[in-house]
Amino acid sequence: MVRVKGEDLEGTLSSETILDEEALEKELQTAIEQENYAKAAKIRDSLRFLHEDGKASVLAANARFYNSFRQGDLSAMQALWVKADHVCCVHPGVSGISGYDLVMGSWEFVWAEYEFPLEIEVKNVQVHI
């Protein structure tokens, strides 16, 4: 489920619309079966927007992550991670580390090993939603 600001499926401006991809897929199928092609086109466009918005969000988060790593900005790195037990990080040569506090501790350890700024080149980033 994704929250976006913009127009709802009827074209009315709303401050926040909740888009559920599965629900939209079902609505699209129903609109096609009912031969309501105008509604189907709007739903198709909403699904496309949902995918594009999701990709843009992932790419932006990826850029913020690598920028904070490049600059050695621990506070920016901390702001990127959800403060929860389910977060996980896998550093090269180490098994997965779970939980916000342990993950942040691992980044503090990484920070101690490098002199910043780092030269990090990110290539061929692909996002599949």
In 3D space, the residue among 82, 77, 64, 63 whose CA is nearest the CA of residue 114 turns out to be 77
Give CA–CA dist 24/107, Å, rounded: 39
- With beta carbons less than 8 A apart as the criterion, state whether 77 and 105 touch: no
Banded model confidence at residue 15, pLDDT cuts 50, 70, 90: very low
Structural domain boundaries in the chain: 21-72, 81-116
84 compared with 50, residue with greater pLDDT? 84
Q: Which amino acid is residue 93, in one-letter code?
A: G
> What pLDDT sits at residue 73?
94
Query: Where do the H-state alpha helices sit in 10-99?
Result: 21-33, 37-71, 74-80
> What pLDDT sits at residue 19?
56
pTM of the model: 0.62
89: left (phi over 0), alpha (psi -120 to 50) or beta: beta
pLDDT of 12 > 60? The answer is: no
> What pLDDT sits at residue 11?
45
106 compared with 5, residue with greater pLDDT? 106
> What pLDDT sits at residue 48?
83
- Residue-averaged pLDDT of the chain: 84
Judged on CB neighbours under 10 Å (0-12, 13-18, 19+), 43 is buried
Is residue 106 within a helix (H) or strand (E), and if so which, with residue range? helix 100-113
